[in-house]
Structure 1
Amino acid sequence: MNKKRRILVTGAGGFLGKALVKTWAAKENAEVIALCHQQQKCFAFSENPQIKTGAVDLTSPTATTAFLSKNQPEILFHLAAVARLQAGQQDPEKAVKVNLIATIHLLQEASRHGLKKFIFVSSDLARDAKSVVGITKLLMERYLQLFAAASPHVVVFRMPNLYDFPGSVTEIFARQIAENKNLSITDERMARRFITKEEAVSYLLYLMENGKNHQIYSIKQEPVFIKDLALKMIAESGKNLKLKIIGARPGEKLYQASYSDEEAVAVGFHHLAQLKTEAPSLEKIFSCIRKLPVSNATRAVLQNHFKNLF
């Protein structure tokens, strides 16, 4: 009980990463390694002796291997990603390099270094994936399902949208309200599922203790219409602002439905549910890879990674 449990958080300088790192560091007998893409992203942790920081470009295999060898974590939370829909659409090669190729190498090194658990943060975009980010997240879910090494145990959390995440609709609406501008929404039918960053941290820490190997988890709750969210924020502001329809972006889905009982089973922790999934076939994986607007060389690298699992 007195042994310190050492976790590594990639993407630690991000909105959710900071919350996860600080929550874990506040626990007794806890150590945390905050891994950021750039060292200045980790300055928020500099005064806490429980938190060790490091800067590594995860797309560099040698740097990733050296960092794991030096720090020897027990559990890894992988949050680092190209996560925004538009960023993936604008640079598909980078999204594939970060979300798939670098993550696969990180997982392989985690196995080689004997880590006990690898918790991967996926996205609601992976469900019926249409965007580049959604497809890369779905493919990584499939890779983790098929990863057969004895360690680490791999667990996936398919993250809903986070309230007030930088670039999220709530953050954009708050800024527009502060500037006395009408609120821009893409479509009146647009609906999304939301949780707070505190809820997200609680789900991740629960899955660290209770998540089953090779399983994917998400939240069973109804989506919120973005129009209703915007009108509520306008009402709370007391300002006389209106809505402006700007149209959906490429790769963007209108409606994110909740999971039915046929799709997911509740695990008894708030709204958390385990998805009912089948083992993916190589044919379906290759079909998914072909949807990515990337070079033939990049596509071949991905195909080879997945071939090695069968």
Structure 2
Amino acid sequence: MTYFKRVSISMVSDSLIVISAIFFSRFLLGVSLDMPDTSLAISALTLLLSHHVFSVVFRLYQKAWAYASTGELIIVLKCVTYSIAAAAAMQLAVSGDIHIRLLTITWLLHMTMIGGSRFALRIFKDMFAPDANRSAAPKKRTLIIGAGSAGTMIARQLLHSAEAELQPVAFIDDNVKMRDLHIMGIPVVGGIPSLGHVIRELDISNIIIAIPSLSRKSLHAIYQECAKTDAKTQILPMIEDIVSGKVSVSQVRDVQVEDLLGREPVELDIAGISECVTGKVVLVTGAGGSIGSEICRQVAAFKPRTLVLLGHGENSIYAIEMELLDLYGDQEIQIVTEIGELQDADKMMSIMSAHRPDVVYHAAAHKHVPLMERNPEEAVKNNVIGTMNAAKAASKHGVSTFVMISTDKAVNPTSVMGATKRLAEMIIQDLDQSSLTRFVAVRFGNVLGSRGSVIPLFKKQIEKGGPVKVTHPDMIRYFMTIPEASRLVLQAGAMAQGGEVFVLDMGEPVKIVDLARNLILLSGNTVEDIGIEFTGIRPGEKLFEELLNENEVHEQKVYPKIYIGKKAELRIEQIHELLREFESLDKAMLREWLLDLANNRLTATERQLIMLSS
């Protein structure tokens, strides 16, 4: 039916209802109503015209009444009440009197018939339209956690969708005021403590957590209760994704490990970052990596004038270039790619000279702990010499801010990778003292989804049927998502004064064995089926990581969830000595020297000099 035809039918039916309401009211009152026929006719005409006027004003004819709710009912109430008020004003103007009884009965009839005619469509749709409950295919009995607006919306969607595979049979909500109530015929049967009993009693096969604003810590607690059952658990999208329009509230998805971190993401100082990045030339090293590419995505959203993507892997640089051009190609952002090695000092000078960046985000590094234990000379070349080359080139060519990505493994390091990152921190902190460029470092823990993350490895082991291999039952780590890590890097650049080591308050550390269990459960398997095998701590690993050592800790946060470390001793002369000699050392001696320098211990050379002098 066309819009014009639908509106015409509505106007004709409404006209009949309005005329019927006022004349039937006159009939009910009989001889007790002393009102001339002329006044009645004027009142009826006024009521009819004002009804159509207010129906247009409040868009009554544009509503889809098959989906009507309380919002539409309020619009009907406004139209009817304002129309009656207009008729009362006309009576007062014509005869100097208002026939209150007539108008009261007319209002009741008018409201009942207009509202009833509209909501009859909704009732017809609910009663006779095909829905999930009348579908021939069997449905999965589903429990909805959360009886609020989101849970109600999900239940309505499932009840009236023929394609839905789920059938809502009960709600669970910790609000005691909701207990024993029925929402759309679905009972609220208890709170979270009764979850296991309800699932067994009602033969539930699916659970939907329908609380979009739920904190990650609370979600983790609820999911752990759900994981004790055999039911599959799903979740609504995060509230920020719903508000931003990225997804619909009805788009349930599987719970992901990122949802279970038990911490809230850091909020950004948008104005500060915009001032640092918008309209500027920004260069990202390691732009093809998991962290570097996400930094590029987030920087591009702030509309820099030029974004330079620097990396040594042509395929990964090409991939992020194509992605950014697809997203921002129609905007005034120049995307430039550079293929080069950090170890090539001349190349770094050439790139900085050609582009003159305002901000550099240095994400390039060797990060894999066991590999760097076996190849310490490569860690030195890339993490130490590479950082020095990029930093010196930035200083010489007037870069305003240089932000280096570091790691929690740089604190009291026991690995080559951690030691080289700590030496890189020392190098940029030393440069900051003599350069106009502001040099800062950003430390964070393990990043979920990055190439070096344990998550992809665990998932592959689960896909193969297990077991999932964990190094030690007491191994714990801090975790954050790639977007969150990248936000911290941008925020650090905006806050940089020079020489700082910024550290994110990463919440509670996560036991790796618990992470493995959650991934197994999220995959739809049981821990007994897949199994967990402990393989022993690998060379260079620690049972737990620290974000600041005891000499670096500042108690006060400089920004919500961000700390700043105190400046520690910088052993620059010893670092330069190491760089002069490292190629002539065997791997064991080089590793010892790196760890001695990074932990502020006497190096072998220093110990030898002391012995000679004594």
Residue identity matched to 2:442:
F
- How far does the alpha carbon of each residue in 1:87-106 deviate from its partner, in whole angstroms, 9 at most, with x for none? 21121111101111121122
For 1:114 and 1:258, the matched residues in 2 are separated by 31
For 1:32 and 1:238, the matched residues in 2 are separated by 42
For 1:270 and 1:121, the matched residues in 2 are separated by 20
- How far does the alpha carbon of each residue in 1:165-194 deviate from its partner, in whole angstroms, 9 at most, with x for none? 123211111222222211100000100001
What's the offset of the Cα at 1:72? 1.2
Residue identity matched to 1:120:
M
1:243 pairs, out of 532, 540, 548, with 532
Larger Rg: 2
What's the offset of the Cα at 1:260? 8.6
What SS does structure 2 have at the residue aligned with 1:263? coil
More strand by share: 1
Residue identity matched to 2:482:
K
Contact 1:74 1:117 in 2 (8 A): yes
2:485 pairs, out of 172, 188, 200, with 200
Contact 1:183 1:244 in 2 (8 A): yes
For 2:289 and 2:457, the matched residues in 1 are separated by 17
Contact 1:223 1:258 in 2 (8 A): no
What's the offset of the Cα at 1:259? 5.2
Please state if 1:90 is matched with 2:374. yes
- 1:183 is matched with 468
Change (3 A) 1:257 1:228: farther
What's the offset of the Cα at 1:207? 0.9
- 1:225 is matched with 511
2:315 pairs, out of 37, 40, 46, with 40
1:271 pairs, out of 561, 580, 588, with 561
- 2:9 is matched with none
Please state if 1:256 is matched with 2:545. yes
Change (3 A) 1:57 1:270: same
Instruction: Using the aligned pairs only, state the percent identity.
Output: 28
What SS does structure 2 have at the residue aligned with 1:99? helix
Listed as ranges, the gaps of 5+ residues in structure 1 are 303-310
Identify the structure with bigger relative contact order (alpha carbons < 8 Å, sequence gap 6+): 1
- How far does the alpha carbon of each residue in 1:44-85 deviate from its partner, in whole angstroms, 9 at most, with x for none? 213354321110111111211111111111111111111111
257-266 or 132-141, which moves further after superposition? 257-266
1:295 pairs, out of 566, 584, 596, with 584
Change (3 A) 1:119 1:97: same
Mapping 1:132-151, distance limit 5 Å: 132-147=416-431, 148-151=433-436
TM-score by length of 2: 0.45
Listed as ranges, the gaps of 5+ residues in structure 2 are 1-274, 595-614
- How far does the alpha carbon of each residue in 1:256-278 deviate from its partner, in whole angstroms, 9 at most, with x for none? 24659982334354422111333
Contact 1:146 1:279 in 2 (8 A): no
Contact 1:222 1:258 in 2 (8 A): no
Which portions of structure 1, spanning 4 or more consecutive aligned residues, are displaced by more than 4 angstroms?
257-262, 296-299
- 1:104 is matched with 388
1:21 pairs, out of 267, 278, 296, with 296
For 1:13 and 1:120, the matched residues in 2 are separated by 16
What SS does structure 1 have at the residue aligned with 2:498? coil
What SS does structure 1 have at the residue aligned with 2:487? helix
- 1:127 is matched with 411
- How far does the alpha carbon of each residue in 1:267-297 deviate from its partner, in whole angstroms, 9 at most, with x for none? 35442211133333568x56x959x986349
Change (3 A) 1:259 1:104: closer
For 1:167 and 1:223, the matched residues in 2 are separated by 18
RMSD of aligned Cα (Å): 2.8
- 1:57 is matched with 341
What's the offset of the Cα at 1:158? 1.3
- How far does the alpha carbon of each residue in 1:226-259 deviate from its partner, in whole angstroms, 9 at most, with x for none? 0111111112222132101111111111112465
